Structure formats: C-alpha cells, structure tokens
Amino acid sequence: MKFFIDTANLDQIKEAQELGILDGVTTNPSLMAKEGITGANNILKHYVDICSIVDGDVSAEVIATDFEGMVKEGEALADLHPQIVVKVPMIKEGIKAIKYFSDKGIKTNCTLVFSVGQALLAAKAGASYVSPFIGRLDDISNDGLNLIDEIRLVYDNYGYETEILAASVRHTMHIVECAKLGADVITAPLSAIEGLLKHPLTDNGLAQFLADYKKGN
C-alpha cells in the first residue's frame, strides 16, 4: 500500500519524506489556506516546492467547476512539474475533464467521492486515482471503510486500474483497516502515520533492554 501525506505543510512533508516511507502528497484548497498559501502564483510555486521534496505523485486541485475551466487549469498544473496529478471534483463536468485528461495521458485524482456509483464513473472516465473520503462519511454516521470495501469489489470485478486512494483518513486504525481491505493508497495527516509507530510494549521493552545493558557496563 502506498502512503501519501495529506497536507500542504512543507515541514511535515519533509519529516514524512525523511522517514523513508512517503510515496506522494495530496493537497486541497482548504489545506493550502491552512498554511496561509493564497493567490494563484503562490499556490503554483508551493506545488513546485512540494514536488522538490518528494519523489512521488503530488495532487493539485482545480478550482474551476466548468469543463473548459478545469481543462485550462489542469493543463497549467500538469505543465508545472511531471509529478503533478490533477485533482478534479466528482461532478458531471469533472468526469468530462477526467476523460479529457486521461486521453491526453495526464494523471488525475477524482476527489470528493462518497459512493460506489461515483467511484464507478471515475474509473470509467479513466481516473488514475479515486478519493473516497472515509472520515467525512464516518462523521455523518455512515461507514467510510465499507465504501472502500465496496469500491475494491467493483473495481476487481472489472479489472479497473484506477487506484483507490483512501482520503479523509483521521487516525491509525483507518490506515490499518484500509490496508486490510486492499486500498491501493492512503493519504493521511503525519500524526496518523506516526501513530502507527506507537506501542507501549515497544517502549517498555526498549527501556528494559537499555536498563539491562547499563547494569552490565
């Protein structure tokens, strides 16, 4: 399973990259705003900065909601850097844009996906990634992980190559469960990724080993 970090914070991206487990980055307009990155030029520069830190795919989201606007913005984003994946919302115009980009060999990430039907359309249009938002489904008393399970079943039924990128991942168990269900990628905050490291028995065991070593030296 690939690990992406879901942030526009350069320090956190560097930290995950240094850990040696990072396969890519996802951003969205809210994450950009959270880092105080505003204005088209600053946002474009920030994408290039992110690409210079990581080796893998970097999702950059279009703001336009009409086909022509998405195509124009997406082509400009794709021209920025070979690692850029154009992130397109799951709306009618977005599906048309994904098909257009797919035909041109430009990678896409279909975002804001909350149902199997939406994921099926994204795959039909040729999306490189589909992003089901599992945490936001859990927030409204739906089962986000069940959506991952159902998309996996449908994609496997037909051999769709669109990668399931579990998004809106909030904690470590989301990551573990996504791995069990066969998600291709998770994108998570650094805290959830680093949470996987933690176990009290590891800490206790290490403290004991170090104490025993000191006794003999």
**Of 78 and 167, CB closest to ligand G3P:** 167
Helices marked H in the chain: 10-19, 29-34, 40-53, 67-80, 92-103, 116-125, 134-139, 144-158, 172-181, 190-195, 200-215
Shortest distance, position 127 Cβ to ligand G3P, whole Å: 15
**Of 140 and 197, CB closest to ligand G3P:** 140
Of the candidates 45, 72, 87, 214, the residue annotated as catalytic is 87
Shortest distance, position 188 Cβ to ligand G3P, whole Å: 9
**Angle of the 92-103 helix axis to the 116-125 helix axis, nearest 10:** 30
**Of 83 and 187, CB closest to ligand G3P:** 187
**Of 51 and 169, CB closest to ligand G3P:** 169
**Of 118 and 131, CB closest to ligand G3P:** 131
Query: Which helix or strand (DSSP H or E) is residue 89 part of?
Result: strand 84-89
Binding residues for ligand G3P, per CB under 6 A? Answer: 6, 26, 28, 131, 133, 135-136, 167-168, 187
Shortest distance, position 108 Cβ to ligand G3P, whole Å: 15
Task: Record the tokens describing residue 148, joined without a space.
Answer: 């991952």
- Say whether 87 is catalytic: yes
C-alpha dihedral over 177, 178, 181, 185, to 10 degrees? -160
Kindly report each contact of residues 46-53 with a partner whose C-beta sits within 8 Å and lies 24 or more positions away, as own/partner: 46/8, 47/77, 47/80, 47/81, 47/84, 48/80, 48/81, 49/10, 50/8, 50/10, 50/13, 50/25, 51/80, 51/81, 51/83, 51/84, 53/10, 53/13, 53/14, 53/17
Report the catalytic residues.
Answer: 87
